[in-house]
């Protein structure tokens, strides 16, 4: 008889369903494939359930609302009474007790998606004259129920011993107000959030300035991915400087849609992480208007440098690299668009520096 797979092996198999290993997001197809694993046997059920429930609110709105109702069933009687007294329409009867301690599985917090799910659930459950999600200013007419439910959920996660590994901040279907973001700064939640090491953030959020004001919560990151950084590169550079020791930094989707906006402040901020930075990735980035990359040569501990589908790289901005030595660099990949075709010196440097990776150093 074939011995059963150990939990670690099953977990590795489940991770293969993710197109991006650094992002716990699962689309509908991936969710269904993972969900089917629950029915293989008891061991697979335990591991797959923990895998799915480690990333609540990372799925479709319909699936997210089902998760929300399951969490409601795990509130204590006292917690339910408080919510009911404040007009939250919780179900009066829950069909069956939960199979697992689902809140303890939470590892990845999709905060705006959680707030958005609460708003959508309320919009369906509460009478329109009591709660209108699309009021004139884009906010609920009676918004007090939203923070009540969000606080209750966060407290539920903490009470059941969940340990957060990553926080994901990105735009969702419904607007998240500054007050709703700032809930994470309340004393009860700070110690739970503060130890996280991984943050993925979309800088094109309507309230990205509020997120930057919360930067004191995120000082111990080892992994940072920032998308759509044309909103405020200066403050993003300041946020990078505030970190105690980044190991991986990924900059995605920077465009020059706004006049006089460039990535220079972020390039300058790299020097602040020179002792710890091991992996640096630029993807779909426009370097138009960027000044010389004076911060990058100081990162002598780099092991991986990726510049993928980027444009407007000039000799002047990349020249600080030409005399640089990266003694630990093992993977160099440069794929620039033809808009950088006036910078053959940069590609020649990359090919000299990493002759074994010629196939990854080219125009696309």
What is the reported pLDDT for 340? 58
Tokens 């044309």 belong to which residue? 230
What is the reported pLDDT for 139? 47
Per-residue pLDDT tens digits for 179-190? 888 899 999 999
Outline where DSSP puts E strands in 178-330.
198-202, 223-227, 248-254, 279-285, 304-310
* Number of Cβ within a 10 Å radius of residue 78: 8
Residue by residue, pLDDT tens for the chain (364 residues) are 456 677 778 777 777 776 565 565 666 777 788 888 888 888 888 888 998 899 888 887 788 888 898 899 899 989 988 998 888 888 766 667 788 899 999 999 999 899 999 998 998 876 554 444 444 334 444 557 899 999 999 999 999 999 999 998 887 777 788 888 889 999 999 999 989 999 998 877 767 777 777 788 899 999 999 987 666 788 889 999 999 999 999 998 765 555 557 889 999 999 999 999 999 999 988 888 899 999 999 999 999 999 998 888 888 899 999 888 899 998 898 887 666 555 778 888 888 776 665 556 665 5
pTM for the full model?
Answer: 0.85
What letter does residue 24 receive in the DSSP assignment?
-
What letter does residue 5 receive in the DSSP assignment?
P
313: left (phi over 0), alpha (psi -120 to 50) or beta: beta
What is the reported pLDDT for 339? 63
What is the reported pLDDT for 274? 95
Q: Which positions ≥6 away from 204 have C-beta within 8 Å?
A: 171, 227, 228, 230, 231
What is the reported pLDDT for 268? 95
What is the reported pLDDT for 362? 61
Listed residue (335, 284, 337) closest to 305, CA to CA: 335
Per-residue pLDDT tens digits for 156-215? 999 999 999 999 888 777 778 888 888 999 999 999 998 999 999 887 776 777 777 778
User: For residues 238 and 235, what is the distance between their CA atoms, to the nearest angstrom?
Assistant: 5
* Paired tokens of 283: 């993807």
């Amino acid at each position: 008889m074939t011995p059963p797979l150990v939990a670690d092996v099953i977990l590795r198999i489940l991770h293969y369903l993710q197109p991006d290993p650094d992002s716990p997001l699962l689309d509908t197809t991936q969710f269904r494939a993972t969900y089917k694993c629950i029915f293989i046997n008891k061991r697979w059920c335990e591991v797959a359930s923990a895998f799915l429930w480690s990333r609540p609110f990372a799925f479709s709105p319909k699936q997210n609302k089902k998760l929300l109702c399951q969490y409601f069933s795990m509130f204590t009687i006292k917690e339910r009474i408080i919510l009911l007294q404040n007009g939250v329409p919780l179900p009066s009867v829950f069909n069956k007790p939960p199979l697992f301690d689902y809140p303890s599985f939470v590892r990845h917090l999709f905060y705006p998606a959680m707030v958005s799910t609460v708003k959508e659930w309320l919009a369906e459950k509460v009478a329109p004259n009591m709660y209108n999600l699309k009021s004139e200013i884009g906010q609920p007419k009676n918004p007090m129920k939203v923070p009540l439910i969000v606080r209750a959920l966060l407290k539920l996660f903490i009470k059941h011993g969940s340990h957060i590994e990553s926080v994901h901040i990105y735009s969702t279907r419904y607007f998240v107000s500054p007050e709703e973001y700032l809930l994470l700064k309340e004393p009860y939640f700070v110690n739970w959030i503060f130890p996280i090491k991984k943050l993925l953030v979309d800088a094109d959020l309507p309230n990205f300035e509020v997120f930057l004001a919360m930067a004191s919560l995120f000082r111990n990151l080892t992994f940072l991915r920032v998308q759509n950084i044309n909103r405020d590169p200066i403050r993003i550079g300041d946020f990078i400087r505030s970190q105690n020791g980044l190991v991986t930094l990924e900059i995605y989707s920077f465009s020059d849609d706004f006049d006089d906006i460039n990535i220079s402040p972020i390039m300058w901020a790299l020097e602040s992480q020179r002792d710890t930075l091991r992996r640096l990735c630029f993807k779909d980035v426009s370097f138009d208007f960027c000044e010389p990359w004076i911060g990058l040569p100081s990162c002598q501990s780099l092991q991986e440098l990726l510049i993928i589908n980027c444009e407007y790289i000039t000799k002047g901005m990349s020249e600080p690299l030409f005399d640089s030595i990266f003694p630990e660099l093992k993977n160099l990949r440069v794929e620039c668009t033809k808009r950088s075709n006036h910078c053959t010196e940069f590609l020649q440097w990359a090919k000299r520096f990493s002759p074994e990776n010629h196939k990854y150093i080219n125009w696309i």
